[in-house]
Chain A
């Protein structure tokens, strides 16, 4: 069973979509550095930030096509 079907079955679709949208917003703003600094004492590397954003967007796109 594909990921988004499992999410839907668990009743988590809206929550997960909201969370992914929030993650996208965080990753696109300075907040990501604030979070990394507060939590780990360093900044997220730009390459890693872009890669994470790519994965988040891929998940969002797959939700649209699957659901």
Chain B
């Protein structure tokens, strides 16, 4: 695992900067590049970027191709990308609210960490996504906009899954990851959500059932998440930045 202490997205994605400036249209960097930007844990492929764009602007974004860069409108394969210097994958699902919440870093527009966390919570078709949610929440807990996360989790019907992941991460950390007010209000939202009959995350039947039985019951989730998934995140991030076992930051906007 590589940890970049002097990481600069502008330098790392220099190949992309000029193309974005030339097109001058709204976009958000999402996917593994954005995830890495927030957790500095699992490194992304350097020459590959996923851009969330407005659906009606796909034609404009096709013009980003050229000079060793290809633009894909469906997920490419390793072989397709391996033959290229750089590649952009277009995701035409951008909506104005997400764009408003963007984070500008080195002049590049990234999906907000709160939206990204919820994308990963929602997707969770394996163990990687929950692990990356835990990593982002741990790495960004002091700077996270908890009220936005709460509001968006409620709107997207993800309170149960987010709640169980946050508390499982707290358990592995041995400290509270999220402010107490946040967990309380998230739990109230969760009680209003229908309990799903699908396993979370969606994994093979071999995966252990309800490794955090008390938490799974409290949040009404059929949790199939082995302890090592989040345990590994905690271990890696501790090795990188020293102990992370202190209490979470207090409420960022004074909401109780």
Residues of A within 8 A of B (CB): 18, 21-22, 25-26, 29, 31, 33-48
Q: Which residues of B contact A46 (CB under 8 A)?
A: 77
Q: Which residue of B lies closest to A18 (CB)?
A: B206
Give bound CA distance, A37 to B32, whole Å. 9
User: Which of B42, B75, B77, B206 is the one whose CB lies under 8 Å from A39?
Assistant: B42
Highest count of chain A CB atoms <10 Å: which of B77, B128, B203: B77
Number of interface residues of B (CB under 8 A): 27
16 contacts between A and B (CB under 8 A): A22-B206, A26-B204, A33-B75, A34-B126, A35-B126, A36-B78, A38-B132, A39-B128, A40-B78, A41-B33, A41-B45, A41-B48, A41-B75, A42-B45, A42-B80, A45-B80
Tell me if A's interface is mostly helix, strand, loop or mixed.
helix
Q: Which residue of A lies closest to B42 (CB)?
A: A39
Distance from B69 Cβ to chain A, minimum over Cβ atoms (Å) = 15
Q: Which residues of A contact B45 (CB under 8 A)?
A: 40-42
Distance from B222 Cβ to chain A, minimum over Cβ atoms (Å) = 18
Distance from B86 Cβ to chain A, minimum over Cβ atoms (Å) = 13
Inter-chain contact B206/A25, CB cutoff 8 Å? yes
Q: Which residues of A contact B77 (CB under 8 A)?
A: 42-46
Q: Which residue of A lies closest to B33 (CB)?
A: A41
Highest count of chain B CB atoms <10 Å: which of A21, A31, A42, A43: A42
Inter-chain contact A42/B75, CB cutoff 8 Å? yes
Inter-chain contact A25/B204, CB cutoff 8 Å? yes
Does B123 have its Cβ within 8 Å of any Cβ on chain A? Answer: yes
Q: Which residue of A lies closest to B207 (CB)?
A: A22
Inter-chain contact B81/A42, CB cutoff 8 Å? yes
Q: Which residues of B contact A44 (CB under 8 A)?
A: 77-78
Q: Which residues of B contact A29 (CB under 8 A)?
A: 204
Does B9 have its Cβ within 8 Å of any Cβ on chain A? Answer: no
Q: Which residues of B contact A42 (CB under 8 A)?
A: 45, 48, 75-78, 80-81, 89
Q: Which residue of A lies closest to B82 (CB)?
A: A45
